[in-house]
Structure 1
Amino acid sequence: MKKRLISMVTALSLLTACGGNPKTTAEAEKFDYTVEQFADLQILRYRVPGFEDLSLKQKELVYYLTEAALQGRDILFDQNGKYNLTIRRMLEAVYTGYKGDKNTPDFKAMEVYLKRVWFSNGIHHHYGSEKFIPGFAPEFFRQAIRSVDAATLPLAEGQSVEQLCEEVFPVIFDPEVMPKRVNQAAGEDLVLTSACNYYEGVTQQEAEDFYNALKNPQDETPVSYGLNSRLVKEDGKVREKVWKVGGLYGQALEKIVYWLKKAEGVAENPGQKAVIAKLVEFYETGDLKTFDEYAILWVKDLNSRIDFVNGFTESYGDPLGMKASWESLVNFKDVEATRRTELISSNAQWFEDHSPVDGQFKKEEVKGVSAKVITAAILAGDLYPATAIGINLPNANWIRSHHGSKSVTIGNITDAYNKAAHGNGFNEEFAYSDAELQLIDRYADVTDELHTDLHECLGHGSGKLLPGVDPDALKAYGSTIEEARADLFGLYYVADPKLVELGLTPSADAYKAQYYTYLMNGLMTQLVRIEPGNNVEEAHMRNRQLIARWVYEKGAAEKVVELVKKDGKTYVVINDYEKVRDLFGRLLAEIQRIKSTGDYAGAHDLVEAYAVKVDSALHAEVLERYKNLNLAPYKGFVNPKYEAVTDANGTITDVTVTYDEGYAEQMLRYGKDYSTLPSVNK
């Protein structure tokens, strides 16, 4: 729950690169950031500037951590749905082994479907979580499956090709079967109506009762119950199947541990070595106290140039916000660009003290806030192909309070978005006038980076829970409220004179670019990511709409923010930027109160009133205007390819990085080299 996903405006209209980017080199000028576009997706590639300058030992460490990252790919597919691995392997078998005409509409539609499954790590949309509608006929797919070598199909022992089709076809083709990966509709059983594979045979009430019985309200250092397990009912009894070596997902975790142990042998220092060893211990035992010990060691490791995330991390994919999807990010520090984030984090106490929230909800002492700009070396699991642009970890409130947190902004990923978005016409279509366009052109690059920094470095780490408040008290609304809290912290402070004083913004008016693009996104442009007739489901989108709609409504009497018509089109107009900031502060105070007190009813009322429903007429207009731009609302990446160079004795003498692998080429290679789990994991 500590991840900043890229917004529509950030994805489509950033024009200037962040610090540490390669834009001044002749090599970078020739670099092709765009790979391909299909459905609602655009595939990009990113560079890893500075990798060549790392020492051999550091390159070797990156290589081993990268291998550990890629070995977890199947875990996420299975977490996202129990049939995902089976369906992916069926599709890949047809894609590579079909002997018929591959230029027919059915085959082309199946190819797009497979590419979407690769992108979303399953059959449900990575962002909206609705199931994809196949553009090919069941009859075609059945015939195609029959035509390929049965040895390439994911057949269970004793299962025939026909039996495989009968089992899986309803999941692919019937819109009523497993329609939502994560259902957030109020009043429904969120566990039974969600297709994610975190629960089996249990109801929402049974799941909540199971974990409530484990919690001790007096425990000030609680483990993250349910983080690394599937909750099942067998023989009438509810129990956990833990993800660990020797347990569920054991085959993949064994491979991950193998590469982590190789990485441990070339760690940069004893602190980093201890972090890796403790993570291995967690994977081998599944013990959540060990996981907390690992998280504390990781957050204290501030001296290593190379860093990584590897494990069960974010809980967006669980409708109850407890169980964590598997992800990995291998990276190294961008020393030059990090000076900005270090300046912010060094003033963390000032920002906390001057926050507009009630004093009882503020931290008396902000501890261990560290922030840096990083260069991603590899994206994996729930950070691939779509990725966040900023991350703040660990998630446990008590660890953040007692030991601090790490915040990162991923510089080379932002740079790739910037390069690919240059001159796409998005701002010209949706910004109200030249005045707003000039603001965006002049300041959007600076203020968007600052908002990400403030969101990650300080927003998630701000405030505190009152004694005895359950960290999971907000249940399904927890992710939306937490992201809104961090966004509002950043929005409130991006306009503060303190940023001008610190030299982080060039002018007192710079914040207006962020305010305008944020409200334009929350009120209008992010709707291009929603199918007609659907509500807003994803936590980050709900957060942005909640903020924008609340400010729009509360400022309506004074026309602080308006939706106006010009030449038959709707635009956002901000008439009073200072009052917008006041409204951001008021909402931040209320959301911090909800978080600090565990006010479930307050969270429910805010989210359901402002974050969920869509204005159908405005939605239709935005979709039509966006369609004419021929842009993709979602973007993701292919990874660089690393190869170890060895001498005659097998000793690594160098690690090379290349960028020429295509999207399908990479996905098929990953399916061959990093496919560790059986199709059905029990």
Structure 2
Amino acid sequence: MTLALPLLASCGAPAADDRPWIVDRFDDIKVIRYEVPGFENLPLEQKELVYYLSEAAKCGRDILYDQNCPANLPVRRTLEVIYENYRGDRTTPEWKALEKYLKKVWFANGIHHHYSNDKFTPEFTEGYLLDAIETIPEEKFGSLNALRGEVCRAIFDPAVYPTKLNQRAGDDLLLTSSSNYYDGVSQAEAERFYAEMAAAAAGDPEPVSYGLNSQLTKDPATGRLHERTWRVGGMYSPAIERIVYWLEKAASVAREPQKTNIETLVAYYRSGDLKEFDRYNIGWVKDTVSNVDFVNGFIEDYGDPLGRKASWEANVNFMDSAACRRTEIISANAQWFEDHSPVDPAFRKAKVKGVSAKVITVAMLGGDCFPSTPIGINLPNADWIRKEYGSKSVTIDNITYAYDRAAHGNGFNEEFVLRADDRERMDRYGKLADDLHTDLHECLGHGSGQLAPGVRGGELRSYTSTLEEARADLFGLYYLGDGKMVELGLVPSFDVAKAGYAKYILNGLMTQLARIEPGKNVEEAHMRNRKLVAEWCYEHGRADNVIEWVRQDGKTYVVVNDFVRLRALFGELLGEIQRIKSEGDYEAGRDLVERYAVRVDPALHEEVRSRYYGLGIEPYGGFVNPEYELVERDGRVTDVRISYPADYVEQMLGYSRDYSFLPDVN
């Protein structure tokens, strides 16, 4: 509910040396090196804080693997043993296919694609894998020897763990998903379990996020459901203990109020008490003075079909003071934006509280933020905390810059953007439009609006994430074209909105289809959101030819003919989706998503993929992290050095060696 992900790669700002930024390319993925400008100028105390928080960010890696699928850790470790110990021919097609498969597992934190959620299809045989294993001494595999059959089934049997996240209407979404948030529990059982829990706390003005930090499992003998809480002494304890160790080191060099906030997070990790987590979130959102900041914990629920369980993620960052000007302006005018929102006044906030936003330089990515990462974050997620205490939003500038440099000169705009004036505006204003849309999406969009009396916030169920992302996107799109943006000095003219609108509609209707395998529908929440917005606006603007499909020279293009009317359509759809959320109108939300966001035209799909992959570019990007090293003299830290590795394989193997704390089966 709080992430902004990048659109499909297009052309960015000119740069003479963009290719060295890409350190590896395989399948549909490019791995990019990002830099951390300004780190060397931080005070020593803040450098040391970044170091300790970065170590904590790397210690939860195994947790995410296991959350994504129970076979992920045995598969990854088996393949890593083979990779590091195989003495056979490494030039054969079979070996290259195994190597690519392992790279994909690292990138996706498991055996399912990080975006489509489909299981990877190996391009090597089970026989080849077993033959490779036989060349390696058994002691290298240790306890993995007993899991060899499970590993082979997970990799090669298409009926085993076929999709990480199934959202197909009519299916039992839990029993048909491979994620490890529920163990042997049906959708009906889980929904009943948490409905009873919520009913027992009815009337609580500060409800916790029930089930956020636990696996729900069933006793096979009694059929009784119970939660395995993710905490010290509970599920995932070995990894959480290491996270706590580094957080306590961070607290030792942090200043107030951050020191107390870190200590509260540690207390939550020790107890698993969600009330403690809420106390941490309140303290975190109220801290607007700390230059170094971080996210660490079980945060986002995109991976749970029911939108309840949270994946583990981490991010360490510090403020980009120069770039923060635009977010400071937006935050300062939050009440104006809320008051002029094109939604029912009953669903607007009468008083916007605690909105803070900043542009940050990310220093470390971890868990569900790595290697693929969002470009914007808005937290916390609890509606009552957002209402009473506000929210904190960030746009990650060095990540968007790295994406931009890596994409420059790839031919995307020339291939897919029909009109020269659109291409010129995208070249001139594309990054500004993207950055401002992210700012508005995160800073104001997610924090806007309010629920009607009696609505608790979970009524939209499996459609929650898609509709929430659409709501935030629409808020950003609508205001990107508002004259207030010119008045505030954030944009020079409406041309910035035109650049953003043309790119958004092109992506939602066409080019994001390059990310989907042939024969598949749209499953990922952000892709569904963009398709919903674009398809709805196309249909509702047909009478005025607002958006037009054009065939030219045997190719399909989509163009926006009336940007002013399109902005009005964004406002109309925003009003309806806010109503759906505010009233908890499940049926209307379901109908919107199923009608506009899911189905793919196979002919258009085939054409987009052919043209996109014909450019020789990859639709997905992710990153290698920088490395930090403490410099000590006479037992005291005197500096922290930063370096930028350019070897994706070595970083992944190093993380598996140094930050892997969980057993093969949890």
TM-score, scaled to structure 1: 0.96
Root-mean-square deviation (CA), in Å? Answer: 1.2
Determine the structure 2 residue equivalent to 1:225: 210
The change in CA–CA distance for 1:31 and 1:550 in structure 2 (over 3 A counts) is: closer
The 8 Å contact of residues 23 and 646 in structure 2, kept in 1 or not, is answered as no
Is residue 98 from structure 1 mapped to residue 86 from structure 2 by the alignment?
yes
Determine the structure 1 residue equivalent to 2:5: 5
Is residue 576 from structure 1 mapped to residue 562 from structure 2 by the alignment?
yes
Amino acid at match of 1:187: G
Q: CA deviation at 1:418?
A: 1.1
Gaps of 5+ in 2: none
Determine the structure 2 residue equivalent to 1:257: 244
Among 520, 525, 532, the residue aligned to 1:534: 520
The change in CA–CA distance for 1:29 and 1:632 in structure 2 (over 3 A counts) is: closer
Amino acid at match of 1:12: S
CA distance in 1, matches of 2:160, 2:494: 53
CA distance in 1, matches of 2:77, 2:140: 8
Determine the structure 1 residue equivalent to 2:402: 416
Amino acid at match of 2:188: Q
Q: CA deviation at 1:661?
A: 4.0
Q: SS at 1:308's partner residue?
A: strand
Is residue 236 from structure 1 mapped to residue 223 from structure 2 by the alignment?
yes
Is residue 279 from structure 1 mapped to residue 265 from structure 2 by the alignment?
yes
Is residue 616 from structure 1 mapped to residue 602 from structure 2 by the alignment?
yes
Q: CA deviation at 1:470?
A: 2.4
Among 73, 81, 99, the residue aligned to 1:111: 99
Determine the structure 2 residue equivalent to 1:137: 125
Gaps of 5+ in 1: 17-22
The 8 Å contact of residues 394 and 406 in structure 1, kept in 2 or not, is answered as yes
Determine the structure 1 residue equivalent to 2:13: 15
Is residue 37 from structure 1 mapped to residue 9 from structure 2 by the alignment?
no
The change in CA–CA distance for 1:168 and 1:374 in structure 2 (over 3 A counts) is: same
Amino acid at match of 1:34: I
CA distance in 1, matches of 2:339, 2:202: 28
Aligned ranges 1:506-545 → 2 under 5 Å: 506-545=492-531
Per-residue CA shift, 1:243-290, capped at 9, x if unaligned? 0000000000000000000000000x2100011000000000000000
Among 536, 544, 551, the residue aligned to 1:558: 544
Is residue 72 from structure 1 mapped to residue 56 from structure 2 by the alignment?
no
Determine the structure 2 residue equivalent to 1:177: 160
Is residue 657 from structure 1 mapped to residue 655 from structure 2 by the alignment?
no
Q: CA deviation at 1:13?
A: 2.3
The 8 Å contact of residues 338 and 349 in structure 2, kept in 1 or not, is answered as yes
CA distance in 1, matches of 2:166, 2:35: 36
Percent identity of the aligned residues? 59
Amino acid at match of 1:4: A
CA distance in 1, matches of 2:57, 2:35: 18
Q: CA deviation at 1:431?
A: 0.3
Per-residue CA shift, 1:608-629, capped at 9, x if unaligned? 0000000111011101111210
Per-residue CA shift, 1:510-544, capped at 9, x if unaligned? 21111100000000000000001000000000000
The change in CA–CA distance for 1:488 and 1:214 in structure 2 (over 3 A counts) is: same
CA distance in 1, matches of 2:137, 2:54: 33
The 8 Å contact of residues 400 and 461 in structure 1, kept in 2 or not, is answered as yes
4+ aligned runs moved over 6 Å, structure 1: 28-31
Per-residue CA shift, 1:548-578, capped at 9, x if unaligned? 0000111112211111101111111211111
Amino acid at match of 1:47: E
The 8 Å contact of residues 38 and 112 in structure 1, kept in 2 or not, is answered as yes
Determine the structure 2 residue equivalent to 1:341: 327
Q: SS at 2:623's partner residue?
A: strand
The change in CA–CA distance for 1:380 and 1:154 in structure 2 (over 3 A counts) is: farther
Is residue 469 from structure 1 mapped to residue 455 from structure 2 by the alignment?
yes
Determine the structure 1 residue equivalent to 2:312: 326
CA distance in 2, matches of 1:644, 1:223: 39
CA distance in 2, matches of 1:100, 1:536: 41
Among 176, 200, 209, the residue aligned to 2:183: 200
The 8 Å contact of residues 18 and 406 in structure 2, kept in 1 or not, is answered as no
Q: CA deviation at 1:168?
A: 2.1
Q: CA deviation at 1:509?
A: 2.8
The 8 Å contact of residues 353 and 388 in structure 2, kept in 1 or not, is answered as yes
Amino acid at match of 1:255: R
CA distance in 1, matches of 2:620, 2:512: 10
CA distance in 1, matches of 2:139, 2:525: 41
The 8 Å contact of residues 18 and 405 in structure 2, kept in 1 or not, is answered as no
CA distance in 2, matches of 1:385, 1:154: 28
Per-residue CA shift, 1:132-169, capped at 9, x if unaligned? 0000010000111122122222526xxxx3x5322221
Count of aligned residue pairs for this structure pair: 662
Among 172, 193, 209, the residue aligned to 1:210: 193
CA distance in 1, matches of 2:607, 2:289: 51
Amino acid at match of 1:594: I
The 8 Å contact of residues 74 and 147 in structure 2, kept in 1 or not, is answered as no
CA distance in 2, matches of 1:406, 1:601: 31
Amino acid at match of 2:580: I
